[in-house]
Amino acid sequence: MKLTGNTILITGGTSGIGQALAHQFHQRGNTVLIAGRRQQELDRITAAHPGMHGIAVDLTDPAAITAFATRVRTDFPQLNVLMNNAGIMVEEDLSAGISAFAVAQRTIQTNITSVLQLTAELMPTLLAQDSATILATTSGLAFVPRANFPAYCGSKAFLHSWLQSLRQQLRGTQVQVLELAPPYVQTELTGAHQATDPNAMPLADYIAEVMQLLAVPEPPRGEVLVERVKVLRDAERKGEYEKVFGFLNQD
């Protein structure tokens, strides 16, 4: 993926990995559009980064996604990078019955359905460019799940499989398909405690390594994997799945 000269849309761009990537790409002179639910946060971030754009969208609302995509196509016809980064991670107790299902529904809409819809809505624009990239953020937990986040881990496993199919279908086009699979990173994905957890990878370190990996023209299997996540990605291949699963689920 080229790191300059792009018009980039990053969902979930008001916090964590999305915001950090937006900052990095904006520093490199790209046209950066961030999307998120909170207009106040979008305004704060774009004010601090002149030239960055922000549009609010509720990714749990299909009609809102369609309206958002229409605006993006109209206002940013040169869009050539779509980073599907938005996601939620909420604990579920499946023994709770229907209340757990409500969490799963919201997780699936945010982490899966919105990604598929937004990608489909913007596909004609991406295909019209000389070169383009579609990237989705999955997780190391797509490969070895944590049992207290079943819908989240399942949603990321779904995206991993879906990206493989998308990559194969677009192999004859100029659109590159990449998967960003983070390890446990210091963000607020599961709450404020995660941002300072010493067991999590510092966000700045993660982003620095990711930017180096994105500069590689063709990452192996289209997967952008920092060293720290490979223990999860390679667990089954190395015959260490049960060991790693047990470590993640020892509570």
Q: How far apart are CA 65 and CA 57, in angstroms?
A: 7
79 vs 11, 22, 59, 92, 123, CA distance in Å? 14, 15, 19, 37, 10
Q: What is the phi/psi pair of residue 141, to 5°?
A: -75, -5
Residue 52 lies in a domain: yes
Distances (CA, A) of 12 to 19, 37, 54, 173: 7, 8, 11, 27
Amino acid at the residue 143: F
Task: Calculate the average pLDDT of the chain.
Answer: 96
pTM of the model: 0.95
Asked if residue 2 belongs to a domain, the reply is no
Q: How far apart are CA 173 and CA 103, in angstroms?
A: 37
Q: Is the confidence at residue 231, as pLDDT, over 90?
A: yes
Q: Which of 152, 184, 206, 241 is catalytic?
A: 152
Classify residue 141: in a domain, yes or no. yes
Q: Measured between alpha carbons, how far is residue 246 from residues 97, 144, 147, 243 in Å?
A: 25, 10, 10, 5
Q: Does 23 reside within a domain?
A: yes
The residue-averaged pLDDT of 64-72 equals 98
Does residue 184 have an active-site annotation? Answer: no
Number of residues assigned to the chain: 251
Q: CB of 49 within 8 A of CB of 23?
A: yes
**Number of domains within the chain:** 1
- Does some domain include residue 1? no
133 part of a folded domain:
yes
Domain annotation covers residue 54? yes
CATH number for the domain including 169? 3.40.50.720
Mean pLDDT, rounded, for 86-102: 93
The predicted structure's pLDDT at residue 93: 93
Q: Which tokens hold the place of 10?
A: 């990053």
Print the domain residue range for 21: 7-248
In a domain, residue 102? The reply is: yes
Q: Rounded to the nearest 5°, which phi and psi values hold at 104? A: -60, -40
Instruction: Indicate whether 242 pLDDT > 80.
Output: yes
Q: Distance between alpha carbon 80 and the CA centroid of its chain, in Å?
A: 16
* pLDDT tier, 251 (very low <50, low <70, confident <90, very high otherwise): confident
pLDDT at 69: 98
